[in-house]
Amino acid sequence: MFSKKTLTLTIVYTGIYLLSTGISAWGFGAFRQFSAVPVSSLPVTSADGKMVVNPGEPKDQPCPVSGELFTKTEEAIWKNRRPVLAMVENHTESRPQSGLASADVIYEAIAEGGITRFMGVFYCKAVADGNKIAPVRSARIYFVNIAAEYNTPVYVHVGGGNCSRDQASGQCTSNKKAWALEEMIDMGWRKRGGNDFDTTLDTGYPALGRDYNRLGADKVLATEHTMIGFLPKIWDQAEKRGIGGVSEDGSTWESGFRPWKFRDDAKDSDRGSIAAINFDFWEGYKDFTAHWDYDKQSNSYLRSTGGQPHLDLETNKQLSAKNVVIQFVKEQGPLDEHKHMLYEVIGKGSALIFQDGNAIEAAWEKPNQLSRTIFKDKKSGAEITFVQGSTWIEVVPAGNEIVY
């Protein structure tokens, strides 16, 4: 027989159990009913920091930078960030690069001495695909002027064009037109805790660090080819600095960004037959010859450089783009003993745009540093509508021949 005390405790514990079970059941049901993201769609992070997307979740959210469609889970993540724009070198000894396949937009222009450099825009595609960016190199003023279009992004680099004072005389040995670091100070970017992520300022490991074996233990690399940017850590650091998708005043990054126009791929019957694009940045520098092959089935352009397929080290796949833009600009230089060049990306000029196997004669316009570069059809005057997906913009000296 139960004592009176035992019976009382049993009743109390039973009541507590039933009450807690009921609350748990109600809570789980409420979560299922009111959760904005289904449980099966919640992001999972792999060991290397990348997000693993549920393959069953529909891709119906357009990226503001590229127009490409992604899942709501990915959108929820990029909306809390702002784009990372990173400088990536293209010296022959630095190839293959890491991370270019994860960029939504890539810009290519000469850095100095006929050697080109890239600036990748990492935002939507990098949510799930992005991890490493390498090798990170120095800034140039014309890349900074383009980066300014992206509404104060996280700008990643290692040093850049600057005054370069002579130790004996104290005089600048570089032309003022090439001063990228000083320009970023004037823009309000280059300050401790700011959006300028530079190893020569205040950004280091784990966001940026050197790996002398990035191309394998059997390949000896010079120091300038070894800097790696780790995207998840860069975004973590940006969040700690208060640099995210939403500003202190409540405005979103996207509200201050002017996107291009986008559309679906053309139907098979509307795709053209321009199968190859070939050009040089500098005469005689064949290691940097750019070549694009059009694949009609995927409606994409496959990139080669220096006569070889251009691969991404992380994926071992050939780089591709939905749109290839040749932006003709005025070239000045070398400006000084450091062989700095200047490419005028603010102003107006001509362009060739390749999409859907067709070529469009276009014009570009960027009235000032902060304004978006807009491309228009020369015949109709209408703004170009890009195919959803990655866009590669080749900043080429005006007058260079494009063979297609």
Q: Tell me what pLDDT residue 12 has.
A: 40
Q: Is the pLDDT of residue 122 over 80?
A: yes
pLDDT digits (tens, 9 = 90+) for 256-285: 999 999 999 999 999 999 999 999 999 999
Q: Is the pLDDT of residue 22 over 80?
A: no
pLDDT digits (tens, 9 = 90+) for 368-384: 999 999 999 999 999 99
Q: Tell me what pLDDT residue 36 has.
A: 36
Q: Which residue has the higher pLDDT, 129 or 381?
A: 381
Give me 74's structure tokens: 């990915």
- In this prediction, what percent of the chain has a pLDDT beyond 90? 82
Contact 93, 221 (CB under 8 A): yes
Across 216-245, average pLDDT = 96
Q: What is the pTM of this model?
A: 0.88
Give me 146's structure tokens: 């383009």
* Cis peptide bond prior to 334, omega within 30° of 0: yes
Give me 356's structure tokens: 């859907």
Q: Tell me what pLDDT residue 35 has.
A: 33
Distance set, CA 163 to CA 69, 181, 256 (Å): 43, 9, 32
234 φ/ψ angles, rounded to the nearest 5 degrees:
-65, -45
Q: Tell me what pLDDT residue 6 has.
A: 42
Q: Is the pLDDT of residue 86 over 50?
A: yes
Q: Is the pLDDT of residue 148 over 80?
A: yes
